[in-house]
Chains A and B, each alone.
Chain A
Amino acid sequence: AQTVTQSQPEMSVQEAETVTLSCTYDTSESDYYLFWYKQPPSRQMILVIRQEAYKQQNATENRFSVNFQKAAKSFSLKISDSQLGDAAMYFCAYRSHVNAGNMLTFGGGTRLMVKP
Chain B
Amino acid sequence: DSGVTQTPKHLITATGQRVTLRCSPRSGDLSVYWYQQSLDQGLQFLIQYYNGEERAKGNILERFSAQQFPDLHSELNLSSLELGDSALYFCASSGKTQYFGPGTRLLVL
Contacts and interface: CB of A to CB of B under 8 A. Distances in A.
B96 A33 contact: yes
A45 B44 CA distance: 14
Interface residues of B, number: 25
Nearest to A37: B100
A102 B50 CA distance: 11
A105 B45 contact: yes
Interface of B: 2, 31, 33, 35, 37, 42-45, 48, 55-56, 58, 88, 90, 92, 94, 96-100, 102-103, 105
Interface of A: 33, 35, 37, 42-47, 50, 91, 95, 99-106, 108-109
Given A47-B99, A95-B98, A101-B48, 5 more contacts: A47-B97, A102-B31, A102-B94, A104-B35, A108-B42
